[in-house]
Amino acid sequence: MSNGRPVTAFFVVVWCTVPAVVLLMLSFSAGWRFPLVLPASFTAGHWEDFFTGNSSDLQASCLVSLFIAAFVGGLATILGFGCSRWIASHRRKNLLLFIAYFPFVLSPVIFAVCLKYFFLRAGLAGNLAGVIFAQLIIAFPYSTIFLVSFWNNTIRNYVAVASTLGSGPAYINRHILLPAAKSFLLTCFFQCFMISWFEYGLTSVIGYGKVQTLTIKVFQFIGEANIYYAALSSCLLILPPVLLLWFNKKFVLQAAR
């Protein structure tokens, strides 16, 4: 009963894969005019443009996106780990978590228009530092919330046992907490990486269109009706998450909204 029919499974697979296949096809297409289902001709030209750096700075956008995402992911994980430990043992844990949830659930674009004034004042609009800071406002609370669940009773008991047996804090950190937290931290990093990689609202408002991440580029290509480049940049955007999914499902599963 819990296995379903193969036919149903087949349809689920089709539903989930068609978008990726169509986008990939479009990125290799030229002359996709109505009513052609397949394009008039297939071409590797758009991808060649990308790899030879000929395509409206897509390469640069790719690097900018990767850099921001890696930076935000790393910073959010490092800061969130320490902060979550503090919150987990705080007597007003629930209130603190509630506060952390709020920036994380607000619509990024609405949040951004409200914050734009302060980013301008601080000289943090339209530059990389500003975008990273803005994305941390979402990613840091997320990582804190996520990592709070690591500091459960089992972990606390391990620490208590170890210190009763005479282990110093450094030893506990290195030989008990870190090995136990490793997979949590890695997951948290990749999730924050993805939050940043997927971000559009905050980046477009705070980045002023000057910090051109891949999501910004997709919008730009849609705006100029350049569907082939839009499809290509879409493929670039879904590639890292797909790889992560293949590599370890856990890294991706909790990041998507």
Cβ nearer to other proteins, comparing 37 with 165? 37
Least Cα distance to 190 among 242, 244, 138 occurs for 244
DSSP H helices in 35-168: 45-51, 58-88, 93-105, 108-121, 128-148, 153-164
For other proteins, the closer of residues 51 and 92 by Cβ is 92
CA 140 to chain centre: 12
The CB-of-161 to other proteins minimum distance in angstroms stands at 19
Q: Least distance to other proteins from the beta carbon of 209, Å?
A: 4
- Residue 240: asked if its preceding bond is cis (omega within 30°), the reply is no
CB of 126 to other proteins, least distance (A): 4
Return the SS3 of 5. Answer: coil
Dump the DSSP string for 131-199: HHHHHHHHHHHHHHHHHHTTS-HHHHHHHHHHHHTT--HHHHIIIIIHHHHHHHHHHHHHHHHHHHHH-
Least distance to other proteins from the beta carbon of 244, Å? 8
The residues with which 41 forms a beta bridge, in sequence order, are 30
Provide the 10 A C-beta neighbour count for residue 97.
17
Q: How far is the CB of 46 from other proteins (least distance, A)?
A: 13
Q: In terms of CB distance, is 5 or 165 closer to other proteins?
A: 5
